[in-house]
Amino acid sequence: MTLLQPFIEFAFMRRALVACIALSLSATPLGVFLLLRRMSLVGDALSHAVLPGAAIGYLISGLSLVAMGIGGIIAGLSVALLSGAVSRYTPLREDASFAGFYLGSLALGVTLVSLRGSSVDLLHVLFGSLLAVDNPSLLLVSAIASVTLLALALIYRPLVIDAFDPAFLRAQSRWAALLVHALFLILVVTNLVAGFQVLGTLMCVGLMMLPAAASRFWRKELPGMVGTAMTLGLIASFSGLSASFYLALPAGPAVVLCAALLFFISILVGPCGGILRARFFTVDKEKR
């Protein structure tokens, strides 16, 4: 009961936990597919790409949830489309074009926020304020999570095919392949915008990618990886918020730090390629 006490007594802890649960259920499956498609750093790039749009919304309406969210979605999708166009029509690879656009977007966003806001506002945008999540933010995050899970269920089969054999999907239907890729990027951007509302632009990608990367060391089949990633995200959310309450740590970084700790534990003892397990298994095999 000691661990549950903060969530029973304080409404702001309950709202923060519900927001993290929603993100864990919707963002971590996207992280698994980003890993399968070898686009891990694209998630990080898009998390920074939403910053200029959010900053413009902030300049227009202050810390308005709707304005910053719409601006972030527009900016993130613009960077994704521009990066795809550059990689398609120039010799530059997609990862390099994403890197160029996201670095420029990050610098532009920080500059725009600094034009009007204080250092406190800048820290709020970059690192979020998980314990200050209000009801409108919670509704937005929950709605995005619900739509994401429904959309993933609808495009699951072509998304799996596109992850493992994109040439086959393009051979079947080029337009279907483009549509699946576009819908996937839209889901990634919208979940990063939801995470931006809670964890900030620099932290939101951590809850998307760290549990997804850790799940690779626990399960080999795709459904198992998705379920494990969700579970690890939930564990990181609960343990991070508990640590932030009892140890007086910033809540958002505490959640991501717990996710990173689970990632390192998975590297060491995970049954599917963990360092220690592989070493002991090799020693036992040699003894036999």
**Total-model pTM:** 0.85
In the structure encoding, which two tokens stand for residue 58, read together? 């902030």
> What is the rounded CA–CA span in Å between residue 145 and residue 190?
9
Each residue's pLDDT, cut to its tens digit, for the chain (288 residues) gives: 677 888 888 888 999 999 999 999 999 999 999 888 877 777 777 777 788 887 788 777 766 667 777 888 888 888 877 877 777 677 777 667 777 777 888 788 778 777 765 555 566 666 667 877 888 888 888 999 999 999 999 989 988 888 887 777 777 777 777 788 888 888 988 888 888 777 876 678 888 999 999 999 999 899 999 999 999 999 999 999 999 999 988 888 899 999 999 999 999 998 888 887 666 655 455 555
Can you give the CATH number for the domain in which 90 is found? Answer: 1.10.3470.10
Question: By residue range, what is the domain housing residue 85?
Answer: 5-287
Give 252-255's long-range contacts (Cβ < 8 A, gap of 24+): 252/127, 252/128, 252/129, 252/130, 252/198, 252/199, 252/200, 252/203, 253/127, 253/203, 255/20, 255/130, 255/199, 255/203, 255/206, 255/207
pLDDT at 239: 94
Q: Exposed e or buried b for every residue in 243-267, given b needs 16+ CB within 10 A?
A: bbbeeeebbbbbbbbbbbebbeebb
pLDDT tens per residue across span 57-98: 877 776 666 777 788 888 888 887 787 777 767 777 766 777
Query: CB-based contacts of 262: which residues, under 8 Å, 6+ apart?
Result: 210, 211, 214, 232, 235, 236
Q: Which residues of 134-151 are buried (b: 16+ CB within 10 A; e: fewer)?
A: eeebbebbbebbeebeeb
Q: What is the tens place of the pLDDT at every residue in 6-15?
A: 888 888 899 9
User: How many independent structural domains does the chain possess?
Assistant: 1
